[in-house]
Structures are given as structure tokens and as C-alpha cells.
Structure 1
Amino acid sequence: MESLIKYVQDEFVSRKELPEFSAGDTITVYYEIKEGQKTRTQFFRGVVIQKRGTGASQTFTIRKMSGTVGVERIFPINLPAIQKIEVNKRGKVRRARIFYFRGLTGKKARIKEAKR
């Protein structure tokens, strides 16, 4: 059964060429929004909290601060509405999932930049 699912995902799910990023990186995701007959491009810039899943079902979570409120959004990696992803900053973290980042405020919420 697993091989059948893997075969269908490899054959029929279209893959996009996206840059490599991981937890701690600051990225900008440009995605398309449909409002009635019109479509427009919106972006979401924030820190990658986690990447989870494999293959076609892979997702990533981005967290940004909107004023004093933290906003998180989960994007499927194969979402057709995603136009492009830009990696703004590479972060140096020691975890694959940085949920502790939610509780940090002020200067403690900064992530060191990695030299990659």
C-alpha cells in the first residue's frame, strides 16, 4: 500500500523548485489570493518554526509578529497558490522545531545569523 501511495505522489503531484530552508530561517512566501474574479499576490514574512512530513504531504510553519500579537501560518509545500519563496536570513538554531520561540519576547527573540 505504501509503495502505491509513493508511486501516485511521484507521478501525479507536481513539484516546484523551491529553495532549501530549515527551522530558524527567515523567509518570505509569496502566494496568490482569489477574491471573487480577481487574484492578487500577498506575502507572509516570518521565521520558520518547523518543517514536518515527507513527500507531497510536507508542510512548514511560519511565525511572525503583527504588532504585539504572534501570527502563525502553516503552508503545504506543494500548495498551488505559492508563487515563490525567498530566504531572507539563515538562522542558527540547535533544534528542528523551535516551539520555545513562541514564549520569547524582545531581544531574547532574536536568532543569530548562520554563516552558510
Structure 2
Amino acid sequence: MKVLVVVDMQNDFVNGVLGTKEAEAIVPKVAKKIESFEGKIFYTRDTHEKNYLDTQEGKLLPVPHCLLKTGGWELVPQIKRLAGESKIIDKPSFGSVELCYEINEELLDEEALANGE
């Protein structure tokens, strides 16, 4: 089974407090990849609480970003539209154990189907 992971395509990283012209430029390319992809798609969102600046990451990168339930935390509109009802995994840092579990579950389900279980 093919899996595509769309990582942190959020307003704050694209055109918000940590956004760049380069990030804005890739949005249409990412959208095109999503539209043409035949397989399971997972999305991640960098997710921080209001106390972000008090966290270890916040002390190293003292720029409040991707605060839960804010506009900057949301996926950019073009990607959000494509995500629809897909699984979106909120993660507090760079990696995500939950993402690994979700992908593993999909692969196990696929294997069970292939084996007729």
C-alpha cells in the first residue's frame, strides 16, 4: 500500500509567523500531489498550547506558532479542502509516534485483507 504524509502545511508555516515565499510556492505542488495520489494520505499539524513559550521548544524558538485552534494552526485552505475527512494527526514536536502507529495499523489492515483474514 502506498502512503503519503503531508507534513505541517499550516498557515503559520506557509504565510504566517514562520512562513516564507518558498513555502507559499510549494502549496500548489503539494496540492497537485495530493490530488493525483492513489493511496492512503495522512496529514500532520504542529500543535502547541498557549504555554508554548514556557516549553523547551519555545525557549529555543521563541516565536508562538501553531497554537491549538488558532488560524495559524489550521491547514492552509487549499490543503484543508483536499484533506476533507482524512486523518489529521496533531503533534507537539517534530516527530509523531501516533503517525507511526496509524501507518502501521493501515499496513496491518491491508495485510489482513490480502491474507483473507
Q: What band does the TM-score fall into relative to the shorter chain?
A: under 0.3
Q: Judging by fraction of residues, say which structure has more helix.
A: 2
Between Structure 1 and Structure 2, the one with more strand by share is 1
TM-score, length-scaled by structure 1: 0.25
Q: Which has the higher contact order (CA 8 A, sep 6+)?
A: 2
Normalising by structure 2, we get a TM-score of: 0.25
